[in-house]
Structure 1
């Protein structure tokens, strides 16, 4: 079908106008500053610099953070302020929290994928979901149910690693973590056994791939000034995004409908279990499918990508630091105190809360991984009204304001001269006990009213998986010469996966796993 307008001609015309607008905005701001009316953060570039450096975006922004604690990038419609200053971060996330929300700009970009979920909204919708989610995460039922799910899936993963070790095969450990944590979060949110880690469902594989691609293309919108035009004409990346989101939606709505029918048939059964999150939502409140879809997808974002990404970077760090890998394995052995192990399920099932609490060095190593490789490398807000930061510089209403967990983890003025070194010991006191840092310095879980509700949930999952694997296997890179880098998307995935070889620890034999706990 012939379009009445040529979208590419529109794009070129728009680009010319945008360049003129950028020049005007820069000159106008500089004029205001010279009059002494306002003082704005230094200009470090434009949004086009982000576009040029998109594949190394966090390296680029870390370089800028090293020159300026806080800086501006000029875009056509607003300034974008990026800060790595803990005082500014505390001001944004806590002190003047009400002035910095997702705003219309972020909500518009995120809406197609995340809808009205907790990560994409402000105001009453956010408060309502925060309240409900806070209650759910604090229930003993969900805590116990999730721990059982984590142990079972960790055991299944150990069996797959064992088979690879026997046949001397290389595995993509990130892919396995992604599938395994997806299985975990699906069981916890939907009450459904997805079993993607064993490849038994093609639908699950398609959903996972579509979800990851949707995440990458959603982030691309932040640097693609033509994304709305592409969406209007359904071309390029926006056509791909629409296709992937349809795969996601079809899968999720099918599960919601199935759960609704099951609950409807069992509504007179007083013994019906309310362990999974979807069942609990459906049983206690009348919620339309679209809102349920948004809530559940946001839970999946929080539970799948985050833990899997951290565990992948964690294994990468341990491959680079084999002595630390051995130290963690020894700590797990002492904490679990398991001398006779019959199979992987028995071992994983025996990883108690008390044992996890004893794994202080493991906790420190996971936290150090998060410091250098935070799951959300940049988090953006919108300024609701003109304001002044603690550093004395002004921000304008409508400016995008972002703090940078990835860059902050590498700042020497925050962490010292060894900021770029992987050093779990920085989190331990003289007795080897884990010590928290200010959440405005270590921003991996946000801070203030929006601090991550699933923080302890995530640590429990990561420690169970790490304990189940490192107690039995030694991991090494399949190719030490191959560069490891991130994929630029909402979460910090390893680009192309992490390919490793696993071998059994000395004295370990091949076990079985019956998944019977």
Structure 2
């Protein structure tokens, strides 16, 4: 679980007090660092890698866009539309065929389709019945290759991947080609917008439209403005796509291995059924139910089950920082300038001193108060969405995405782990599985017949 430790000196931290000290109280003393920005250069100068004044300006823009009702409405409607139009039909087809499916790949395609539509107001449809059996579309392949290359850069000594980059061979060559594909797609979309060819689907609520409507900095050249838009689009794709897919994968692994949790979620959803909408159906096929984001706000147990899965399996298992100055941690340890620190979010969810003797167990109830409301947990103790000023601005929308997809699947289908299939995490900057999540899917006929 610690591939980052190759070829470098790190201070590894899993103490909530130290997390709070570094990421919140003394935020200005700890940066992403030049090494991180260079390893993740596909993000350009975007929010994911920016620091200091540039980070503050970009954070303000992102916070304003994410809070805008038009954007939030567009994101939620996009999630619901893709759940109804892509995810459920795919699973229904698999159920009818009686074949096993690799659910992590399904979620990767679903998340790619959702994030692409949110950014560009255009449909990639990589999970459509026609496309799901085919290779990823070029844009999807490019995002996957870029993610693998960033992981590679974390694993090997810097001098090695920099040599490969200089020689333009191996994974670094494929990485350069992937970045060229991403740039071509994104700059082409920007060009369409500047020419006035706005997609009809988004009606101005998509991410690119929102950013293009942002007041322009007079000091920016056209090229710099386009670069700013490109970095925003690519950054969102990388922040949203793999993390949501990984979270859904581990959530359903927990559901498959804890049927009593599935039963409680199903009972909760049945009480909300009158507020869901039907999709699909026709030509002799039964309709499925999709729950909207507002309805699921009252699904406290589902929310708790999602948070508990994130505690045990945080999609981003580590956070990395570099000390800008000398410092002293709450436990007395000294940190010298330039020290690179790994905050082990994965470990924090599994330490008895933090979570108690049953820390390895999956218990959604721990997130619920006596009245049944979801209990608040400080971010420095539950850091799945980071902590401090760099806390994830897309937390609410991300949770909404997870709950809409999860509720639709659980209500309409029974998902069962294939016998003998072992699920374990892989070494990665995102907590993917080593061999996927092989499951069988069966219709809940009562749900389709209602």
Same fold (TM over 0.5): yes
C-alpha distance after superposition, 1:477-515 (max 9, x if no partner): 12x31221223332212233222111111424489xxxx
Q: Indicate the residue corresponding to 2:144 in structure 1.
A: 212
Q: Indicate the residue corresponding to 2:220 in structure 1.
A: none
- The yes-or-no answer on 1:237 pairing with 2:182 is no
- The yes-or-no answer on 1:495 pairing with 2:434 is yes
Q: Could you say what secondary structure the match of 1:493 adopts?
A: coil
Query: What is the Cα deviation at residue 127 of structure 1?
Result: 1.1
- 1:171-250, aligned counterparts within 5 Å? 171-198=101-128, 199-200=130-131, 205-225=137-157, 226-250=160-184
Inter-partner Cα distance in structure 2 for 1:494 and 1:245: 25
C-alpha distance after superposition, 1:52-80 (max 9, x if no partner): xxxx537xx9xxxxxxxxxxx6955xx31
- 1:83-162, aligned counterparts within 5 Å? 83-111=13-41, 113-156=42-85, 157-162=87-92
Inter-partner Cα distance in structure 2 for 1:348 and 1:95: 45
Query: What is the Cα deviation at residue 232 of structure 1?
Result: 1.2
Query: What is the Cα deviation at residue 204 of structure 1?
Result: 5.9
C-alpha distance after superposition, 1:278-322 (max 9, x if no partner): 112223344632222211111112221111111111111111111
Q: Could you say what secondary structure the match of 1:358 adopts?
A: coil
Q: Indicate the residue corresponding to 2:221 in structure 1.
A: none
Query: What is the Cα deviation at residue 343 of structure 1?
Result: 4.2
Q: Indicate the residue corresponding to 1:57 in structure 2.
A: 2
Name structure 1 gaps, 5 residues minimum: 1-55, 62-72, 512-517
1:308 maps to which of 245, 252, 262: 245
- Tell me, yes or no, if the aligned pair for 1:215 and 1:489 is still in contact at 8 Å: no
Query: What is the Cα deviation at residue 203 of structure 1?
Result: 9.3
- Tell me, yes or no, if the aligned pair for 1:216 and 1:490 is still in contact at 8 Å: no
C-alpha distance after superposition, 1:423-444 (max 9, x if no partner): 1111111222110111111000
- Tell me, yes or no, if the aligned pair for 2:288 and 2:412 is still in contact at 8 Å: no
Q: Indicate the residue corresponding to 1:283 in structure 2.
A: 213
- 1:379-458, aligned counterparts within 5 Å? 379-458=319-398
1:325 maps to which of 262, 272, 292: 262
Inter-partner Cα distance in structure 2 for 1:227 and 1:116: 21
Inter-partner Cα distance in structure 2 for 1:318 and 1:353: 21
* Larger Rg belongs to: 1
TM-score (norm 2): 0.89
- Aligned pair count? 433
- Tell me, yes or no, if the aligned pair for 1:408 and 1:414 is still in contact at 8 Å: yes
- Tell me, yes or no, if the aligned pair for 1:364 and 1:427 is still in contact at 8 Å: yes
Query: What is the Cα deviation at residue 115 of structure 1?
Result: 1.2
Inter-partner Cα distance in structure 1 for 2:190 and 2:428: 27
2:99 maps to which of 169, 175, 183: 169
Name structure 2 gaps, 5 residues minimum: 217-223
- Tell me, yes or no, if the aligned pair for 1:216 and 1:488 is still in contact at 8 Å: no
- Tell me, yes or no, if the aligned pair for 1:150 and 1:461 is still in contact at 8 Å: yes
